[in-house]
Amino acid sequence: MYGVESAVHPAYRGQGIGSRLMEARFQVVRALNLRGMVAGSAIMDYHTTGGQISAEQYVQEVIGGQRFDTNLSKQLHKGFQVHNLIPDYLEDDDEFTMGWGVTIVWHNPDYQPYGEEMPMK
């Protein structure tokens, strides 16, 4: 499943709403027995580095827990994994991401490949 834009109004972030939205999507993935979910994540706090480190290093540091990113840290906490960097995800002059995003993937732990449960004859 591809997850298009989801957002919580800045005034209501940090109160568990985004978490419930992500869990609702995971429930859809489980109910449809899909392999998982792919989405794009704008790395909103990359601008705090002032461009002193590469987007790749920034993402590694978010993954390692040395940095907090408004979007990515919360998505990683919910079980998403980073698949790859996306240059030009947003406009180059986007003041928060400086254009960068990442592809994030959530693997459905309950996915059952079709036919695998069929008894062998």
Query: What residue ranges bind ligand COA (CB under 6 A)?
Result: 5-8, 13-19, 39, 41-42, 68, 70-71, 73-74, 77-78
Q: How far is the CB of 5 from ligand COA (least distance, A)?
A: 5
Q: How far is the CB of 98 from ligand COA (least distance, A)?
A: 14
Q: Taking CB positions, which residue lies at the least distance from ligand COA?
A: 18
Which two tokens mark 42?
Answer: 């704008």
Q: Mapped to the 3 state alphabet, what secondary structure does 29-79 carry?
A: HHHCCCCEEEEEEECCCHHHHCCCCCHHHHHHHHHCCCCCCCCHHHHHHCC
Q: How far is the CB of 81 from ligand COA (least distance, A)?
A: 14
Q: Which amino acid is at 9?
A: H
Measured distance CA(25)–CA(12) in Å, rounded: 19
Of 47 and 78, CB closest to ligand COA: 78
Q: What is the torsional sign of CA 45, 47, 49, 55?
A: positive
Of 18 and 99, CB closest to ligand COA: 18
Of 93 and 116, CB closest to ligand COA: 93
Of 78 and 111, CB closest to ligand COA: 78
Q: How far is the CB of 116 from ligand COA (least distance, A)?
A: 30
Helix then strand count (H, E) for the chain reads 3, 4
